Amino acid sequence: MTFQELGVREDLLRAITDLGYESPMPVQERVIPHLLNEESDVVALAQTGTGKTAAFGLPLLQRTSTATTTVQALILDPTRELCLQTANDLTDYSKYIEGLKILPVYGGANIEPQIRALEQGVHIIVATPGRLLDLLRRGKVDLGAVHTVVLDEADEMLNMGFVDDINTVLDHVPEQRKMLLFSATMPPEIARIAQNYMHDPQEFVIGNRNESSGNVRHIYYMVRACDKYLALKRIVDSRPRIYGIIFTRTRAQAQEIADHLIQDGYNADALHGDLSQAQRDAVMKKFRERNLQLLVATDVAARGLDVDDLTHIISYALPDDNDVYNHRSGRTGRAGKTGTSICIIHSRERGKLKEIEKHIGKQMERRPVPTPEEVIEKQLFNLADKLERVEVKEEEIAAYLPPVLSKLSWLNGEDLLKRLLSLEINRLLDYYRNAPVIEEVPEKGERKKSAEAKKRSKEEKDSRTAEKGFERVYINCGKADGFFAPDLIRLINQNTRGQQIGLGRIDLLSYYSLFDVRQGDAHRVVSALKGTEFYGKRVYAELAKEGKDYAAESWERSRIKKNRAERRRAERAAREAQSEQPHGRRGRRTRRDQPTKDEPYTRFRKKKGRK
C-alpha cells in the first residue's frame, strides 16, 4: 500500500517524499481513505508516535481551499509544544500548496501578533483551548466556516481539565462539520464527547485498547526506597548512549533529581511547572538538539512533547493513573524503532505495577541492578566502539602528528591504550571503588527469611561493623520504648534537610538500636537526632564505638529510671493516703479521732496530776 493508492494528492505526495515517507503506517492506511471519501466522523485510538498527525493532516490539507481566507479547519492540542509541533508538521506537508496559511495559537506568548495574523486571514488554526477561548471572547476569531475539527491527544486535554473549554469551543463551530478525535486511550469523558458532538462516528482501533506499543520493551528494577537514586545512576551508567526522559511525581522531586544528576556530571536538566515559558523553551531546545542526554520531567510539564528517537523512558515514580504510563512509554519506540520503558520501584509499589501490567496487557521483565563491574565494562566497550567509529582526518592532523608521536614515542601500543581508557574511565572507577551496596529486594513470595537470617544472634545485631559504603550509628531508643524501624525513618526525615539520607541495615534491641547510614551522611544524622524527643524520651545518637557496652549502659539507665519511678509512685501513694484522713475545722484531729490512753504519743497523755 502506498500513499498514492490511499488517494493523497500529488503536491502532498511530493512534500512527504521529501520528508522521507515511503509507506503509510497502520493508522494512516485506515484513517486517510475514510476522511477523503466518507462523511462520517472518526474516533481513532492509537498510541503516541504511530503517525496520527499525518493521518489527519494530509486529508485535512487536501480538503482545504486557498480560494478564500476564512478559517476552514481547527485543530485543538493540549499543550503549547504539541501545538507548535503539529503546526510545523502541517507546514512541511503543505510546502507545495501556494497561499495556504497555518497559524499556531497558544498561551504563554504575546496575543497581539496572533490577532494580527488572524485579521490578515488564515485557513487552518492549531490552538490550545485556553488561548482560543480568549480570542473567541474578544471576537477576534470566526469559526463559522469551519468544516473540520480535530481533537488531538483528546485524553490528555481531559486530564488537564479542558473538558469545559472543549465544550465551549465546539459550541462555536457549525453543526454540519466533520469531527476527528484522536486519543491513546478511551476514558468515559472521551466517549461522552463523541456521543454529544459527533455524528455516527467510525471507530478505528490500532492494536488493542489501552495496549502499549509492541516496539517498547518494559522492564523494572525493585530496590529499597532509599536506594532509588543510586539505582537510577547505575541504570544510566550501564546505558552510555541513553537519550531519554525521567518521569517524577512532583516538581520538587524533578528539580532535586536533575540537580543531583548535574552535580554528579550528567548532561541533564529539569522540566516542570515552576519554570517560566522562556526557561521551558530553552530546556527543550537543548534536549531536542541532544545537548542534554536526560530530561527530568513531571507528567504535566511533558504533555505534548514530541521528541524523535528517544531510547529510554524511566519512571522514577509510578503514575497514579494507569493511562499516564501508556503516554510515558509511548514516547519511545516510534516510527518502527524500538525503545525501552524502565520502572524503578520499591516493594510497596509492586501492587501498582501489577495494575499497570494488566492495563497494558504485558508482563514487565524484572532485571537486577547493574553491578559496578558491569557498568564499567559497558562504559569501556562504548569507548572502544567510539574509537573504532571515529573519523580520522589524515590531512588535517598531518601537521600536528609528528611532534605528538615524538613526545609519546616511549609508550608502546598497550600502554597508550591503557592511558587513553583511564583518561575517560577514571571518574567511574573512583566512584564505584567505594560504591554503596544496593540490596536485592525479593518478591513477595520470596520474602521468607532464610535459616541464616532467622538465627541471627543478639551479638550479630549488636555488631559495630557497618556494610561496605555505610557507617554504624547508635541511638538510645529500642523496642522497650516502642521504637521500631518506621519510627527511626520518620525521626530522620523530620529532622534532616537536603539530600535524602541513605539507610542500610537496622538492628533493634531492647533498650537501644544500631543502624547503617550511607558514608558522608552519618555525622549529619547524628547532629540532627541529638536533642530530639521520642514520645517524651530525649534522644541521643552517636557513631557506634567498637568495644563500648551499650547494653550495660542502657540497662543501668533503665534500672535507675525504673527505681526513680517506683519511688515517685510510693511517695504519691503516701501523700494520697495522708490527704484522705478526716480533719476538723482548723486542720486538727477531731476528738473521736484522738489516740487512746494506750497509744504511745506523749502529746496526748494526760497532764501530770490529773486523774
Q: Quick: pLDDT tens for 220-232.
A: 999 988 889 999 9
Evaluate whether 148 touches 63 at the Cβ level (below 8 Å). Answer: yes
Name the average pLDDT for the chain: 82
C-alpha cell at 503: 539507610
| Band of pLDDT at residue 470, cut at 50, 70 and 90 | confident
- Domain of residue 171, CATH code: 3.40.50.300
Residue 275 · residue 298 · CB < 8 Å:
no
Give yes or no: residues 426 and 307 share one domain: no
Whether residues 380 and 284 fall in one domain: no
Residue 171's domain spans which residues? 3-205
275 occurs within a structural domain: yes
Where is mean pLDDT largest: 209-213, 220-224, 542-546, 577-581? Answer: 220-224
Burial of 236 (0-12, 13-18, 19+ CB in 10 A): buried
The region that residue 530 occupies, defined by phi over 0 for left and psi between -120 and 50 for alpha, beta otherwise, is beta
Q: Which residue has the cell 480560494?
A: 67
Locate 95 and state its grid cell: 510546502
Using the predicted structure, report yes or no on whether residue 431 has a pLDDT greater than 80: no
Phi and psi for 217 in degrees, rounded to 5?
A: -95, 130
Mean pLDDT along residues 503-520: 87
- Collapsing DSSP to helix, strand or coil, 74 comes out as strand
Higher per-residue pLDDT: 114 or 591: 114
Q: Tell me the per-residue pLDDT of 179-188, one tens digit each, with 9 for 90 and over.
A: 888 887 777 7
Read off the C-alpha cell for 597. Answer: 490512753
Q: Residue 606 in contact with residue 597, Cβ under 8 Å?
A: yes
Q: What is the DSSP letter of 348?
A: G
Positive or negative, the CA dihedral 309, 311, 316, 321 is positive
Residues 167 and 221 in one domain: no
Task: Give the largest Cα separation in the chain, rounded.
Answer: 144
122 assigned to some structural domain: yes
Is residue 335 left, alpha or beta, with left meaning phi > 0 and alpha meaning psi from -120 to 50? left
Q: With bands split at pLDDT 50, 70 and 90, how would you rate the model's confidence at 453?
A: very low
Asked whether residue 565 is assigned to any structural domain, the reply reads: no
* CATH number of the domain within which 483 lies: 3.30.70.330
Site of grid cell 458532538: 197
Whether 182 and 318 map to the same domain: the answer is no
Distances (CA, A) of 416 to 115, 410, 421, 451: 64, 10, 9, 51
On whether both 167 and 278 belong to a single domain, the answer is no
User: What is the per-residue pLDDT for 610?
Assistant: 47
Position 268 pLDDT exceeds 90: yes
Q: Are residue 364 and residue 395 in the same domain, yes or no? A: no
Of 383, 366, 422, 337, whose CA–CA distance to 241 is shortest? 383
Contact call for residues 126 and 90 (beta carbons, < 8 A): yes
Q: For the chain, report the end-to-end CA distance as a whole number of angstroms.
A: 138
Distance CA 60, CA 28 (A): 13
Q: Is residue 397 part of a domain?
A: yes
Specify whether the CB–CB gap between 50 and 331 falls below 8 A. no
Helices (H), ranges, 19-79? 26-37, 52-62
From 50-59, 409-418, 571-580, the region with the lowest mean pLDDT = 571-580
- Mind listing the pLDDT tens digit for each residue in 491-507? 898 888 877 788 888 88
Could you tell me if residue 199 is inside a domain? yes
In a domain, residue 357? The reply is yes
The share of the chain scoring above pLDDT 70, in percent, equals 85
* pLDDT given at position 228: 92
Identify the pLDDT of residue 454: 47
3-class DSSP assignment, residue 457? coil
> Residues 246, 248, 251, 257: what is their CA dihedral angle, to the nearest 10 degrees?
-60
Q: Using one digit for the tens of pLDDT, what is the confidence trace for 198-209? A: 878 888 877 555
The answer to whether residues 201 and 236 belong to one domain is: no
Of 175, 160, 176, 170, the C-alpha closest to 193 is: 170
- 358-394 pLDDT, tens digit per residue, is 888 888 999 999 888 888 888 888 888 888 888 888 8
In the structure grid, which three cell numbers stand for residue 55, read together? 493521518
Look-up of cell digits 548535574: 262
Contact, 73 vs 64, CB < 8 A?
yes
> Are 22 and 37 part of one and the same domain?
yes
All three cell numbers of 162, joined, read 479542558
Alpha carbon separation from 103 to 55, 157, 177, 281 (Å, rounded): 19, 20, 20, 19
Of the candidates 60, 3, 62, 64, the one whose C-alpha atom is nearest the C-alpha of residue 28 is: 3
User: What are the Cα distances from residue 243, in Å, to 250, 282, 304?
Assistant: 22, 18, 18
Asked which of 345, 369, 393 is the last residue of a domain, the reply is: 369
Question: Hey, is 160 helix, strand or coil?
Answer: coil
Residue-level pLDDT at 581: 60
Please, which pLDDT band fits residue 398 given cuts at 50, 70 and 90? confident
The domain total for the chain is 4
Residue where a domain terminates, one of 396, 416, 433: 433
Least confident interval from 241-255, 451-465, 521-535: 451-465
* Whether residue 18 is found in the same domain as residue 163: yes
Region 556-566: mean pLDDT is: 60
Domain ends where: 205, 232, 247?
A: 205
The C-alpha cell of 259 is what? Answer: 540537580
450 assigned to some structural domain: no
What are the residue ranges of helices labelled H in 434-517?
A: 451-454, 458-461, 485-495
Q: Residue 554 has what pLDDT? A: 66
| 442 part of a folded domain | no
How far apart are the C-alpha atoms of 514 and 516, rounded to whole Å? 7
Same domain? For 274 and 137 the reply is no
Asked whether residue 53 falls in the same domain as residue 88, the answer is yes
Q: Is the pLDDT of residue 435 over 90?
A: no
Q: Please tell me whether residues 384 and 423 are part of one structural domain.
A: yes
**pLDDT tier, 49 (very low <50, low <70, confident <90, very high otherwise):** low
- How many Cα neighbours within 13 Å face the side chain of 319? 22
Q: Tell whether the torsion through CA atoms of 41, 47, 53 and 58 is positive or negative.
A: negative
